Amino acid sequence: MAKLLKVAVCIGILSVVVYQLVDFCKLMGVFRELVPIEPGNCHLIKGVEYGSEDINILPGGLALISTGLKYQSLPNFDSDRPGHILLVDLNESVLSAVKLRISRGFDVESFNPHGLSTYIDGDGTVYVFVVNHPRQITTVEIFTFDEDQNSLNHLKTIKHELLHSVNDIVALSPDSFYATNDHYFSHEHLKNLELVIGLSWCTVVYYSPSDVKEVATGLRLANGINVSPDRRYIYIAESLGHNVHVMEIAANNTLTPVKIVNVGTLPDNLEVDPKTGDVWIGCCPICWKLFLYNPENAPGSEVIRIENILSMDPKVTQVYVNNDSTLQGSSVATVYEEKLLIGTIFHKALYCELSAQP
């Protein structure tokens, strides 16, 4: 009898392990096949060679892009150089990127930018918030942007125990923001185990100089984050849930869950069209190829658009899908004046002319 019980326990454990592995493979796109979609004529952006992990567009059409991210287990084609913030003027007929200079006193040699966000104050000052991973730690850097000088003036570095594995950020004021932690553990091997066994221990943190607190928990790889145009709702990408969470901002800056939108793919960064409120998502459709990178079998790219996200029936649409080496490992998508910009974790950046759709 004892022997049968041991066998039953072993079978039960094995069943759980197999289920978790199959589930993880599905979420990482192991069994998925891609059908290419292009919304119009698409072109690579000149000067972007080593990633365009996050993109934020200012009202006049200037796009800020984080590039050169070095992150655990992911490819990097320029490991010997620091990261940068790039600037692209979307009003030009041919798009090209230039590096922004950073003010003296900031450690540019260890700059490793990840997510970014901007906030424009009442006097027109543009604040740029950048998630930074210098020397394998996490900080949030706050700059102001000088358009005339093509430069960033560093104001402060924020480091806090609750901001231990920040992926993305959305600015609320010159010194406050929400941020996602994409892992619970700090050790690389434990981070990988956390993903495979499906722990939903990731968090969202609210930060201001007077108040720092967790405002959302129970997420399985919390990733991109953004705010609705009326600044009443926060949108959060739960990558290994294939979900976008909608949460309402309370008066004390805590978040109340409103709904979950399943997008059927692994969402990364979220950008919100200020005119329509549509949510644009750079996705990783076959994400296992990022961790077992092979240039002959490169990870594809995908862009998802969510229309009417706050309605009872939001519309989820594939806008762009690429399954070759043209654009590898998409991470962000955003729009400006009929131009769709698509960024990647470690590769190039693309723009497509939406007006050319049939």
Taking only the tens place, the pLDDT of each residue in 175-220 is: 999 999 999 998 877 888 888 788 999 999 999 999 999 999 999 9
Query: What is the C-alpha to C-alpha distance for residues 306 and 313, in angstroms, rounded to an integer?
Result: 10
pLDDT value of position 295: 87
pLDDT greater than 70 at residue 29: yes
Q: Which residue has the higher pLDDT, 161 or 1?
A: 161
pLDDT value of position 6: 63
pLDDT greater than 50 at residue 88: yes
> Locate tokens 């968090």: which residue?
203
The per-residue pLDDT for range 280-337, each reduced to its tens digit, is 999 999 988 888 899 889 899 999 999 999 999 999 999 999 988 889 999 999 999 9
Angle at 236 between CA 33 and CA 249, to 5 degrees: 160
Lowest-confidence segment of 30-44, 148-162, 225-239 by average pLDDT: 30-44
Instruction: Give the pLDDT band of residue 7 (cuts 50, 70, 90).
Output: low
Q: What share of the chain is helix, strand, coil (3-state, %, to 5)?
A: 15, 45, 40
The per-residue pLDDT for range 219-250, each reduced to its tens digit, is 999 999 999 999 999 999 999 999 999 999 99
The fraction of the chain above a pLDDT of 70, given in percent, is: 93
pLDDT greater than 70 at residue 1: no
pLDDT greater than 60 at residue 65: yes
The per-residue pLDDT for range 115-136, each reduced to its tens digit, is 999 999 999 999 999 999 999 8
pLDDT greater than 70 at residue 159: yes
Going by the DSSP 8-state scheme, the letter that residue 312 receives in this structure is: S
**Average pLDDT estimate for 86-115:** 96
Q: Are residues 259 and 247 in contact, defined by beta-carbon separation less than 8 angstroms?
A: no
pLDDT greater than 80 at residue 10: no
Mean pLDDT estimate for the chain: 92
Angle at 56 between CA 53 and CA 61, to 5 degrees: 130
Query: What is the C-alpha to C-alpha distance for residues 75 and 307, in angstroms, rounded to an integer?
Result: 32
Task: State the pTM of this model.
Answer: 0.93
Residues with catalytic roles:
114
Angle at 269 between CA 263 and CA 272, to 5 degrees: 85
pLDDT value of position 356: 47
Structure tokens at 32: 């998925």
pLDDT value of position 16: 63
pLDDT greater than 90 at residue 154: yes
pLDDT greater than 60 at residue 358: no
pLDDT value of position 8: 64
pLDDT value of position 357: 46
